[in-house]
């Protein structure tokens, strides 16, 4: 099924290349041809459901960001993955699929929130998980896992409580359970408690 799709697609769209994949058929597509390809996938090839929109940050490589789209055909029962490199490493942007698939709306907002990729043509490209004034994109490789100190979103609450967004204490983490023995003894806990946010990590 997927092989015949691949032959038809590459014959019709000569800019497509096959991408190395350990599961489903995956294709590389240039950003400016994405709308054309996805319209054909939806209307002519039966890939009528967009399951996921996400991205990868390749850190020091260029292109730095690659957007990913996972399609499902509800008639052929087959998945298809499309990978699109963002042309600009510093202000990454991709065309929005929100006009083709309703599910793209929230997925693209999430990817924008966490990776900072702008989806051109999106009807309401605002953050979906972090608050609107948050200055970072947390899934980028240059963002530390613990976070960066930032003011709380509400000024009056920050003033009344003196609290702010602080880097999370990471000592002993990640917090995993061994799984052996009774639950009372295997609750996820810190493995290294020799340092905390009040006591610096010992250097040796």
Partner 1 sequence: MQNQNVAYDSKVEGEIIVTQADAVINWIRKHSVWPMPMGLACCAIELMAAGASRFDISRFGMEVMRFSPRQADCMIVAGTVTYKMAEVVRRIYDQMAEPKWVVAMGACASTGGMYRSYATLQGVDRIVPVDVYISGCPPRPEALLDAMIKLQDKIGRERAVKNLIPEKADSAELAGAGKES
Interface residues with partner 1 (CB under 8 A) are 129-131, 138, 143-148, 152-154, 156-157, 160-161, 163, 165-170, 173-175, 187-188
∠ Cα 140 128 149 (to 5°): 50
* Residue written as token pair 């999106």: 122
Q: Which is nearer to partner 1, 77 or 198 (CB)?
A: 198
Give the shortest CB-114-to-partner 1 separation in angstroms.
10
Give the shortest CB-176-to-partner 1 separation in angstroms.
9
Q: Which is nearer to partner 1, 12 or 201 (CB)?
A: 201
17-18 and 25-28 as β-strands: parallel, antiparallel, unpaired? antiparallel
186 φ, ψ (degrees, to nearest 5): -120, 25
Least Cα distance to 4 among 25, 22, 21 occurs for 25
Give the shortest CB-163-to-partner 1 separation in angstroms.
5
Q: Which is nearer to partner 1, 100 or 158 (CB)?
A: 158
Give the shortest CB-191-to-partner 1 separation in angstroms.
12
Q: Which is nearer to partner 1, 17 or 161 (CB)?
A: 161
Give the shortest CB-1-to-partner 1 separation in angstroms.
40
Give the shortest CB-122-to-partner 1 separation in angstroms.
21
| Cα 149 from Cα 153, distance rounded (Å) | 12
Q: Which two tokens stand for residue 114?
A: 């966490």
Q: Which is nearer to partner 1, 7 or 129 (CB)?
A: 129
DSSP class per residue in 28-89: E--GGGHHHHHHHHHHTS---EEEEEEEEE-TTSSS-EEEEEEEEETTTTEEEEEEEE-S-S
Q: Which is nearer to partner 1, 121 or 153 (CB)?
A: 153
CB of 64 closer than 8 Å to CB of 50: no
């Amino acid at each position: 099924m997927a092989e015949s799709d691949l032959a038809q697609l590459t014959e019709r769209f000569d800019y497509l290349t096959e991408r190395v994949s350990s599961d489903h058929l995956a294709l590389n597509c240039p950003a400016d041809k994405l709308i054309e390809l996805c319209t054909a996938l939806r209307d002519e090839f039966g890939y009528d459901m967009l399951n996921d929109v996400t991205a990868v940050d390749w850190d020091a490589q260029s292109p730095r960001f690659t957007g990913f789209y996972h399609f499902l055909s509800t008639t052929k029962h087959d998945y298809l993955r499309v990978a699109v490199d963002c042309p600009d490493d510093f202000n990454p942007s991709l065309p929005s699929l929100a006009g083709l698939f309703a599910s793209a709306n929230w997925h693209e907002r999430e990817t924008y929130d966490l990776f900072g990729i702008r989806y051109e043509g999106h009807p309401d490209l605002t953050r979906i998980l972090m608050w609107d004034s948050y200055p970072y994109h947390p899934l980028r490789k240059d963002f530390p896992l613990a976070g960066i100190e930032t003011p709380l979103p509400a000024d009056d609450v920050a003033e009344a409580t003196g609290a702010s967004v602080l880097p999370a204490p990471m000592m002993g983490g990640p917090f995993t359970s061994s799984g052996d023995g009774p639950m009372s003894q295997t609750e996820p806990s810190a493995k290294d408690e020799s340092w905390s946010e009040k006591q610096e990590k010992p250097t040796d």
